[in-house]
Amino acid sequence: MMEKELEEATEKARASFYDLFGIMIAHELDFPTLHRLLVWPNPVKTAYEYWLRQMNDVARILAYRDGVEPGAKLSESDRVKLTARAWELVSESVESASSARS
C-alpha cells in the first residue's frame, strides 16, 4: 500500500517540478530570483508552492515508512534528511523520465 502511495506522490512531485521548471525556463528565472518573486502573487509562486506540497507528501510517506507516526514532531535535522531523501527520489524520477523522452 505505501509503495503505491509513494510512487503516486513521487510522480505528482515530478510532474509539478516539470511545471515549475518550465515556467522558470520560459521566464529565464533561477532559484534566487524565484525566491524573490514569491512575495508576488503569480503563476510561479503557485507552481512553486504546489511543488513544495508534493515534495512534502513524498517526505511524509517516507517518514511513515520509517515508522514515524503522522503528526509527530521531527527535529530540524530529521526534516532536512527527509527532504533530501524526497528530493533524491523525485530527482531520480525526473532523470529517468528525461532519459525516456530522449
Question: Can you say how many angstroms the Cα of residue 97 is from the centroid of all Cα atoms in its chain?
Answer: 15
The share of the chain scoring above pLDDT 70, in percent, equals: 95
- The pTM of the full predicted model, rounded to 2 decimals, is 0.58
pLDDT of residue 54: 92
User: 95 falls in which pLDDT band (50, 70, 90)?
Assistant: confident
pLDDT of residue 99: 74
Could you read off the pLDDT of 10-44 as tens digits, one per residue?
A: 999 988 888 888 888 988 989 888 887 777 667 77
Q: Do 23 and 43 touch, CB atoms closer than 8 A?
A: yes
Rounded CA separation 72/91 (Å): 26
C-alpha closest to that of 20 among 43, 37, 53: 43
